[in-house]
Amino acid sequence: KQEVTQIPAALSVPEGENLVLNCSFTDSAIYNLQWFRQDPGKGLTSLLLIQSSQREQTSGRLNASLDKSSGRSTLYIAASQPGDSATYLCAVSRIQGAQKLVFGQGTRLTINP
């Protein structure tokens, strides 16, 4: 059974810092890995999707890496801003069928002005 773990559970940093969020998964047989952002009481917004054959994806100040063999992914946020404050969730897709994702419990990020 696939399990996804995100560390740390919560992180608070001053504005402007670069930071890394971690995600690990127990079964390396995945189709892809996605990073999402969730604001309080809201739905999820897809940030980056890394296919199993890829090692990283970049969007603006965000960079996500994937090391499938070791079951790890990182989300790097450069020059953090208060608007980046949210919960960040990592999810991996299972082998067969529709996009059935297994989610981690998220990292609650707070950027202090």
Which residues form the interface with another protein (CB under 8 A)?
Answer: 4, 31-32, 34, 36, 41-46, 49, 51, 89, 91, 93, 97-106
Q: Which is nearer to another protein, 13 or 44 (CB)?
A: 44
Q: Which is nearer to another protein, 25 or 80 (CB)?
A: 25
SS3 1: coil
Q: Decide: 108 and 90 in contact? Cβ < 8 Å.
A: no
* Minimum separation from the CB atom of position 94 to another protein (A): 9
Q: Decide: 22 and 6 in contact? Cβ < 8 Å.
A: yes
* Minimum separation from the CB atom of position 48 to another protein (A): 9
Q: Which is nearer to another protein, 13 or 49 (CB)?
A: 49
Query: What's the one-letter identity of residue 20?
Result: V
By CB neighbour count within 10 A (0-12 exposed, 13-18 middle, 19+ buried), where does 95 fall? exposed
* Minimum separation from the CB atom of position 41 to another protein (A): 7
